[in-house]
Structure formats: structure tokens, C-alpha cells
């Protein structure tokens, strides 16, 4: 899980930085509406990354990989701190997600306290509401969008300005911007530890507003554009700095730059070419990331190996032998589904081998391991040699009858 979060965080950071540079350089040439469309690559890349992580391919039966090479030393019940560190990171991430979600929820509720619903009153199919704060209309709500207007709306703006500002909010609803904003907040909450995500969110919202401005002022006269600019400057005076605030009109100087950009925008025939190049580059990057994340046959390292116990009766009867078992390793590193594939003598060392292997632990990984193989050789003394069948890629562990410690002779795990 942690590896996936880190990989996705790096990928999203690269995309966000690229989009910020791209939009700043191409807004004038391509227009805010066209460049705003590119921001959909962020949730798209997250979706592809999630599918690549949770839908794992089956590992080929003839693929074997070495997971760890250990010297011939005693293996007591040892536990590596790696497993604990991985758990700490996961728990820390979950705590961060919970805290960020709680803060956003509290901010949202505080924001909603200043809104007064008007029962039975609708505007073009949308519920109306009034607010005591602010000087601009906005929309809120995913399932049932609500159009919120200030109490002083008619006094603050002329009829034309009112119409333009209402149109601005209707475009947000029509384009599904409320859902895009919700998706952006979810991504920021998941990757709360990455500051670039929060920076990208601000640029995304700014680009969203600029795209709406362009749509509102399409085919309007310069006089209308000036009135719209004056209205946004008035609205910006009451803008609150909050992650949940829908009033992203920024400061006066930025507002003038936005209006100037709308005034000078011309259609550009290079947009389709730029779109194809951008999507192609991103698709290749996503495909490479997905393939890189799907390391076929990747196996974690063992961090805790419980020594098998040499059966008392077998030691008394001077019996030696081996047991070959197959087992699965979960994403958390726990062992399950332990089963005996071969043993000699039959049923003598089986229980000892199964009981020990069930307690083994491996480092957490992004995908489970199925049908891992291990052969445990039971020898009466460390110096004795026992002829055992060959299992290519099978880990061989020696079990000493005197000190009852597991020794790792050949460390290679078979995965199929």
C-alpha cells in the first residue's frame, strides 16, 4: 500500500507540475476552457494506477525469483523492524487521512451555517438559498445543487451583472464542476502528505473559474465584459480563504489579468495537435508506470522465520528426511494455505513443518504471492548430508536435531 501511495504521489506530482506550466504557457493561445480540460488527466491517472494496483495479473508458473540469501547462521525466532516500520507508515497515513477529512468536514459545516434555505423556491430547476455572508452567488451540493445568492445581491449588482454571475454558476453545474471539485478534495485527502497536491488544487480551481469566465463572456461586447469584470472585483472583496469556499475570485489584480486574457483570446488551430501530443505522452507515462508497478514474480523478503521442531520420536529412531511445502503470502506478509507437496518419510515431519511455516512473516508488498515453495531438510547433525530430490527454485532449510534450529542452505523461493 505504501509503495503504491509513493508511486502514485510521484506520478501525480509530475502531472500537476506539467499541467501548471502547460496552462500558464498556453492559456492565451488555447483558451482557458481548452486548457481546463487537461486537468481531467489527474483523476484519470489515479484511476488507472488504482486498477493496475488492485487488479493484479496471475504470475506465470515457470517464473522463479530469489528473495533473500542468508549465511549459514542460526535462525531463531527473529523479527525484523521492517515490518513494524511499514505498519507505522500505514497507520500514520490513515491518521492523516482521518484528520484531514475531519478538518474539511468541520469547515464545510461551518460554511453551511451561514446559508438559509428557501423552501419551495427554485431557479430554473435549482433550489434557491440566501446567505448572510459574501457578495457573490455560488452553487453547492452534489446530488441536488443549490444556488446560493447574497441578501444584498440586487443592490450590489446591476441586472446585467446579476445575469452574468448567475450564468457563471449555472455553467459550473452544467459541466459537473461540483463533482470534479469533490474528486479533487478526495485526492488531496488521500495524498495529504504531498504539498504539490494542494498547490495543484488551487491552480485547478483557478483554471476552472477562468474557463467559466470565458464561457460566460463568449460573443459578448466589451461593455458587457467590463461590467462582468467590475462584478467580479466587487465579489472578490468578500472572498474567504478556505479550502471549501466556492468563492475563488482571487485578488483584484489577478481578476484584471483574467479579463484581459479573455479579451485577447483567439481560436488556435494547433489545439487538436497539442491535445493529441499531451494525451499520447501522458498515456505512455501511465502505461510505463502501470507496467513498472506490475513486477512479475516480485517477492518480499522474509523477516521472521520460526524454527521447526525436530520430532522427538524421529530423533529417537534416528530418522532423517525432508518436507516440501507450498504456501501463500498475503500483502501484509502473513503465511496461509500451507500444504505438503512431498515428504520422506511420509507423515513423520509434516506437522512440524506446517506448524513452523505458518508462523513465518515476510515484508509487506503490493501483491500477494501464491504457491511459494520451501523444502525443509531434517538432519540428525549439522555435518550430516542427506540426499534430497531437486526442486528448481525451491528454498531449502535444514533442521538440526540437536539444537533444533533452522539453517538456510539455499535461499530461493519458487513462485508460480
- Comparing CA positions, the residue from 21, 27, 30 lying closest to residue 207 is 27
Query: Cα separation of 407 and 76, whole Å?
Result: 9
Q: What is the average per-residue pLDDT within 195-205?
A: 91
pLDDT at residue 402 above 60? no
As given in the structure block, the three cell numbers for residue 199 are 498547490
Query: Cα separation of 213 and 220, whole Å?
Result: 11
The cell 452534489 sits on which residue?
142
* pLDDT given for residue 222 in this prediction: 81
Three-state helix/strand/coil letters over the chain: CHHHHHHHHHHHHHHHHHHHHHHHHHHHHHCHHHHHHHHHHHHHHHHHHHHHHHCCCCCCCCCEECCCCCCCCCECCCCCHHHHHHHHHHHHHHHHHHHHHHHHHHHHHHHHHCEEEEEEEEECCEEEEEECCCCCCEEECCCCCEEEEECCHHHHCCHHHHHHHHHHHHHHHHCCHHHHHHHHHHHHHHCCCCHHHHHHHHHHHHHHHHHHHHHHCCCCCHHHHHHHHHHHHHHHCCCCCCCCCCCCCCCHHHHHHHHHHHHHCCCCCCHHHHHHHHHHHHHHHHHHHHHHHCCCCCCCCEEECCCCCCCHHHHHCCCCEEEEEEEEECCCCEEEEEEEEEEECCCCCHHHHHHHHCCCEECCCCCCEEEEEEEEEEECCCCCCCCCCCCCCCEEEEEECCCCCEEEEECCEECC
The cell 478526495 sits on which residue?
186
pLDDT tens-digit profile of 290-317? 544 444 445 567 787 887 888 888 888 8
- Model confidence at 61, pLDDT cuts 50, 70, 90, reads very low
* Close Cβ partners of 398 (under 8 Å, ≥ 6 residues apart): 376, 377, 379, 382, 406, 407, 408, 409
- Model confidence at 381, pLDDT cuts 50, 70, 90, reads low
Peptide bond into 345 cis (omega under 30): yes
As given in the structure block, the three cell numbers for residue 154 are 440586487
- Percent of the chain at pLDDT above 90? 12
As given in the structure block, the three cell numbers for residue 211 are 474557463
Domains and CATH numbers, the chain: 302-414 (3.30.2420.10)
Query: Cα separation of 166 and 155, whole Å?
Result: 15
Mean pLDDT in the chain? 72
| Residue that wins the pLDDT comparison between 4 and 350 | 350
Query: Cα separation of 327 and 337, whole Å?
Result: 5
- Model confidence at 145, pLDDT cuts 50, 70, 90, reads confident
How many C-beta neighbours within 10 Å does residue 285 have? 16
pLDDT at residue 110 above 70? yes
| Residue that wins the pLDDT comparison between 240 and 206 | 206
* pLDDT given for residue 99 in this prediction: 94
- Comparing CA positions, the residue from 395, 397, 377 lying closest to residue 387 is 377
Q: What is the average per-residue pLDDT within 95-104?
A: 92
* pLDDT given for residue 408 in this prediction: 37
Lowest mean pLDDT among 90-104, 277-291, 313-327: 277-291
CA distances from 93 to 28, 101, 209, 401 (A): 40, 12, 32, 45
* pLDDT given for residue 46 in this prediction: 78
| Residue that wins the pLDDT comparison between 135 and 201 | 201
pLDDT tens-digit profile of 167-186? 998 999 899 999 999 999 99
Lowest mean pLDDT among 297-311, 312-326, 356-370, 386-400: 386-400
Q: What is the average per-residue pLDDT within 107-133?
A: 68
Q: What is the average per-residue pLDDT within 106-134?
A: 69
* pLDDT given for residue 200 in this prediction: 92
- Model confidence at 97, pLDDT cuts 50, 70, 90, reads very high
| Residue that wins the pLDDT comparison between 288 and 68 | 288
Amino acid at each position: 500500500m505504501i509503495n503504491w501511495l509513493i508511486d502514485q504521489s510521484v506520478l501525480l506530482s509530475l502531472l500537476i507540475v506539467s499541467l501548471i506550466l502547460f496552462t500558464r504557457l498556453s492559456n492565451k493561445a488555447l483558451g482557458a476552457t481548452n486548457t481546463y480540460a487537461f486537468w481531467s488527466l489527474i483523476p484519470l491517472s489515479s484511476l488507472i494506477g488504482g486498477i493496475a494496483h488492485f487488479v493484479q495479473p496471475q504470475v506465470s508458473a515457470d517464473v522463479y525469483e530469489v528473495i533473500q540469501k542468508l549465511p549459514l547462521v542460526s535462525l531463531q525466532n527473529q523479527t525484523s523492524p521492517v515490518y513494524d516500520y511499514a505498519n507505522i507508515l500505514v497507520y500514520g497515513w490513515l491518521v492523516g487521512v482521518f484528520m484531514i477529512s475531519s478538518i474539511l468536514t468541520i469547515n464545510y459545516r461551518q460554511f453551511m451555517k451561514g446559508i438559509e434555505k428557501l423552501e419551495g423556491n427554485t431557479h430554473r430547476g435549482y433550489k434557491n438559498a440566501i446567505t448572510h455572508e459574501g457578495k457573490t452567488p455560488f452553487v453547492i451540493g452534489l446530488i441536488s445543487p443549490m444556488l446560493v445568492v447574497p441578501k444584498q445581491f440586487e443592490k450590489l449588482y446591476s441586472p446585467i451583472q446579476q445575469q452574468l454571475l448567475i450564468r457563471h454558476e449555472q455553467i459550473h453545474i452544467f459541466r459537473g464542476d461540483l463533482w470534479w471539485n469533490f474528486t479533487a478534495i478526495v485526492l488531496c485527502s488521500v495524498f495529504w502528505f504531498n504539498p504539490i497536491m494542494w498547490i495543484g488544487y488551487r491552480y485547478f480551481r483557478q483554471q476552472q473559474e477562468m474557463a467559466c469566465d470565458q464561457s460566460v463572456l463568449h460573443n459578448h461586447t466589451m461593455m458587457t465584459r467590463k461590467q462582468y469584470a467590475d462584478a467580479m472585483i466587487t465579489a472578490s472583496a468578500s472572498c474567504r480563504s478556505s479550502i471549501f469556499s466556492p468563492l475563488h475570485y482571487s485578488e483584484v489584480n489577478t481578476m484584471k489579468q483574467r479579463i484581459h486574457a479573455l479579451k485577447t483570446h483567439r481560436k488556435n488551430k494547433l489545439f487538436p495537435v497539442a491535445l493529441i501530443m499531451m494525451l499520447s505522452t501522458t498515456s505512455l507515462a501511465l502505461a510505463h508506470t502501470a507496467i513498472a508497478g506490475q513486477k512479475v514474480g516480485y517477492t518480499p523478503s522474509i523477516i521472521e522465520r520460526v524454527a521447526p521442531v525436530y520430532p522427538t520420536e524421529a530423533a529417537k529412531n534416528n530418522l532423517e528426511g525432508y518436507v516440501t511445502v507450498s504456501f501463500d503470502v498475503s500483502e501484509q506478509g502473513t503465511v496461509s494455505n500451507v500444504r505438503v507437496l512431498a515428504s520422506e518419510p511420509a507423515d513423520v515431519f509434516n506437522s512440524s513443518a506446517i506448524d513452523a511455516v505458518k508462523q513465518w512473516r515476510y515484508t509487506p508488498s503490493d501483491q500477494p504471492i501464491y504457491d511459494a515453495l520451501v523444502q525443509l531438510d531434517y538432519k540428525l547433525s549439522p555435518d550430516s548430508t542427506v540426499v534430497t530430490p531437486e526442486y528448481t527454485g525451491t528454498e531449502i532449510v535444514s533442521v538440526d536435531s540437536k539444537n533444533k534450529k533452522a539453517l538456510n542452505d539455499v535461499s530461493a523461493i519458487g513462485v508460480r
